[in-house]
Amino acid sequence: MRKRSIALMLCLLAGAASVVHGQAATMAPPVSASAQATAQAPALPRVRLVATGGTISNRRGGRLTADEIVASVPALAEVADVEAEQFANVASSQLTLEQWLDIARRIEQLFREDPQLAGVVVTSGTDTLEELAYFLHLTVRDRRPVVVTGSMRNPSQVGYEGQANLLASVRVAADAGAAGRGVLVVLNDEINGARDVTKTDALRLHTFASRTFGALGVVDTDRVVFRRTAEGRHTTASEFDVAAITALPRVDVFMVYQGAPGDLLKAAIDFGAKGLVIATAGAGATSGTQGEGFAYAREKGVPVVATTRTGSGRIAGPRRPAGPGAAAPQDPPGMAPRIAAGDLSAVKARILLMLALTKTSDSADLQRMFSEY
């Protein structure tokens, strides 16, 4: 009997307590046991996946969607809270420049609207991945990491490495140490900077590398390790605002080869190119009648940026006048005009020139940009 009345009292007390909770509930929603447990556990960093397609999604019989790729890697749930969106589902070389602008704007919007978002991962085909990554490096004005990834083998092949690359990329995007390093390219457990990375092999899995300067870090089983910082202006320090750019001007890339004709350079200008990039032989040499093409470019006010076709090394800046009042020395015959791209590859110099031409066509200002970015 006594036990019963104690039990009754406990029930009444519990009821009173629930009334108090009920009153509180009018101010804040009731918290479920599982939500309480979640609240106690430290929240996982939030990472957004923006999928654009590429081999990583190119399953035989039908491409994987962004959600299917995420669902295929259960381990993601241990490192981040990943939400996915499908921007496109095509080969990297099929993305248009308008789509590049849209991807940059979308990532800026994601960061702007979600201050708690830790980072963004973009999946891409690997063929022109380095170009998209460098474009984002110059245009996404946020410190938070943007990681571009893909895979060399598709989901229908033995040894598909897309899942491992996605997991490594999400770990980097969720890592506080990745902020402020510009856009990163993560494949094969290596972190390369968007400015210097290039696809070095058409087929091998270890294809992405930063020649001369090396990777920025690695993704190991215990943690993400950074060993160096990418130099050059990028992201938050960039002067290029995609919100203000409606279209990118046409810029064409040419290569120097023995006996190359200059009329192709002239034709590009006549077809509307607003800038040219030339991948010179060695440290600036041209060939054939290309000099005539450069003279035409000068006449039409079309800037020409010199890069090297060697795959590494610099095109040095313009030679300086010998002393006060001295005229700037002319480029010797057979050498490309000097807006020097330094060690930027030809395809990346084109990207910087397209963005630069939305702001200026003054060659000194263009040279400043090639020296700074």
Stretch that binds ligand DGL, among 6-14, 119-127, 265-273, 280-288 (CB under 6 A): 119-127
* Part of the chain binding ligand DGL (CB under 6 A), chosen from 26-34, 50-58, 104-112, 307-315: 50-58
Q: How many CA atoms lie within 13 A of 13 on its CB side?
A: 6
Question: Considering the rule CB under 6 A, would residue 347 count as an interface residue with ligand DGL?
Answer: no
Judge whether 55 counts as a catalytic residue.
yes
Under rule CB under 6 A, residue 331 binds ligand DGL: no
Contact between 162 and ligand DGL per CB under 6 A? no
Shortest Cβ 357–ligand DGL spacing (Å): 26
Task: Quote the longest CA-to-CA distance of the chain.
Answer: 112
Comparing CB distances to ligand DGL, the nearer of 64 and 349 is 64
Our finding on whether 149 is near ligand DGL (CB under 6 A) is no
Please select the residue that binds ligand DGL; options are 53, 155, 262, 284, rule is CB under 6 A: 53
**Listed ranges 24-32, 124-132, 276-284, 361-369: which one lies at the site for ligand DGL (CB under 6 A):** 124-132
Q: Let me know: does 123 contact 85? Beta carbons within 8 Å.
A: no
The secondary structure of residue 342, as a DSSP letter, is: B
Residue 91, amino acid: A
Q: What is the C-alpha separation between 291 and 332, in angstroms, rounded?
A: 11
Distance, first Cα to last Cα, the chain: 84
Q: Which of residues 68-97 bind ligand DGL (CB under 6 A)?
A: 91-93
In which element (H, E) is residue 191 found?
strand 190-193
What are the beta bridge partners of residue 65?
Answer: none
* Cα(159)–Cα(170) distance, integer angstroms: 20
293 binding ligand DGL? (CB under 6 A)? no
| Choice between 126 and 280, CB closer to ligand DGL | 126
Cα dist from 298 to 91, 265, 362, 363, whole Å: 36, 11, 12, 11
Cite the active site residues.
55
Q: Which residues bind ligand DGL (CB under 6 A)?
A: 53-55, 58, 91-93, 125-127
